[in-house]
A and B are shown apart, each in its own frame.
Chain A
Amino acid sequence: MKITRLLPWVIGAATAVASLLPIQASAEADAEQIVRNSCLSCHTDEGSSALPQSKGQKSAPQWSRISHQRKTPEGWLMSIARMQVMHGLIISDNDRRTLVKYLADRQGLAPEETTGFRYAMERRLNTQESFESEEFTQICARCHSGARVALQRRPASEWEHLVHFHLGQWPTIEYQAMGRDRDWLGSALNSMVPQLAKQFPLESKVWSDWQSAQKPSLAGSWRFAGSAAGRGDVEGSMSITGSDEKGYQLELMGSYADGTAFKGRGQGIVYTGYEWRANLNIAGVAMRQVFAASKDGSRLEGRMFEALHDEVGMDISALKDTGVTNQILTVQPSYIKAGETQKLTIVGNNLKGKLSLGQDIQISKVLEKGKNKILVEVRADTKAKLGGRSVTVGKSKGGDLQVYDRIASIQVVPNFSVARVGGNGGSTPKVTSAFQAEAWAPGLDGKAGTDDDLRIGFIPASWHVEPFDEAAKADKDTRFAGTMDATRGVFSPALAGPNPDRRMSTNNAGNLKVVAKLTDGDTTLQAEGQLIVTVQRWNNPPLP
Chain B
Amino acid sequence: MNLITLKNKKNGRLVLPLVSLFSLSILIGGVSESVEAKTNQRLVVGNEYMLVTNYPNNLHVLDLATEKVMKTCQLPDDFGPGAIKVSPDHKTAYVLNNHYEDIYGIDMDSCDVVFTARQSNGNERVKSIFSFAVSPDGKELYTIQNPTLLNKDHYRIQEPRLAVYDTKGGLDAKPIRSFPAPRQVTVMSVAENGTLLMAGEDFYAVDVNTGEKTVALANRNWQRPLYAAPDVLNAWPMDTANNEFLSLYTTARFQDETMDLNSAEWIYGFHTIDLKTGKAESIDFGPITEIYFTGMRNPADSNIVYGVLNRLAKYDISKKEMINAAPLDHSYYCIAMNDKGTRVYLAGTFNDVAIYDADSLEKTGSIKLPGGDMAITTAQVFRR
Contact = CB atoms under 8 A, between A and B. Distances in A.
A65 B148 contact: no
B153 A64 contact: yes
Among B7, B125, B157, B183, chain A packs the most CB atoms within 10 A around the CB of: B157
Interface in B132-171: 146, 148, 150, 152-157
B184 A65 contact: no
Interface in B294-331: none
A161 B154 contact: yes
Contacts of A183: 183-184, 201
Interface residues of B, number: 29
Contacts of B156: 164, 168
B233 to A, nearest CB: 8
A431 B144 CA distance: 44
B4 A177 contact: no
A88 interface: yes
A165 interface: yes
Interface residues of A, number: 25
B153 A43 contact: yes
B269 interface: no
Contacts of A87: 3-4
B1 A180 contact: no
A324 interface: no
A169 B8 CA distance: 13
Interface in B216-238: 220, 229, 231-233
A165 B149 CA distance: 10
A127 interface: no
B157 A167 contact: yes
Nearest to B100: A1
B343 interface: no
A18 interface: no
Given A1-B80, A181-B231, A183-B201, A171 B184 contact: no
A43 B152 CA distance: 7
A198 B153 CA distance: 24
A204 interface: no
* A interface: dominant SS: helix
A154 to B, nearest CB: 13
Contacts of A164: 148, 154-157
Interface string A125-162: 00000000000000000000000000000000000010
A382 B232 CA distance: 66
A175 interface: yes
A34 interface: no
Contacts of A88: 3, 7
B51 interface: no
B154 A165 contact: yes
A181 B152 CA distance: 32
B57 interface: no
B370 interface: no
A330 B242 CA distance: 76
Given A1-B100, A171-B127, A175-B129, A42 B186 contact: no
A177 B153 contact: no
Contacts of A64: 153
A205 B125 CA distance: 41
A423 to B, nearest CB: 25
A44 interface: yes
B348 interface: no
Interface in A198-222: none
A181 B155 contact: no
A184 B154 CA distance: 19
B81 interface: yes
- Closest 4 pairs between A and B when the two form their complex, measured CB to CB: A168-B155, A168-B148, A164-B155, A42-B152
Interface of A: 1, 42-44, 64-65, 86-88, 161, 164-165, 167-169, 171-172, 174-175, 177, 180-181, 183-185
Given A164-B154, A167-B148, 9 more contacts: A161-B154, A167-B157, A171-B100, A174-B183, A175-B129, A175-B186, A177-B233, A180-B233, A184-B184
26 contacts: A42-B152, A64-B153, A65-B154, A86-B4, A87-B4, A161-B155, A164-B148, A165-B155, A167-B157, A168-B155, A168-B156, A168-B157, A169-B155, A171-B100, A171-B148, A172-B129, A174-B183, A174-B184, A175-B186, A177-B231, A177-B233, A180-B184, A180-B231, A180-B233, A181-B220, A183-B201
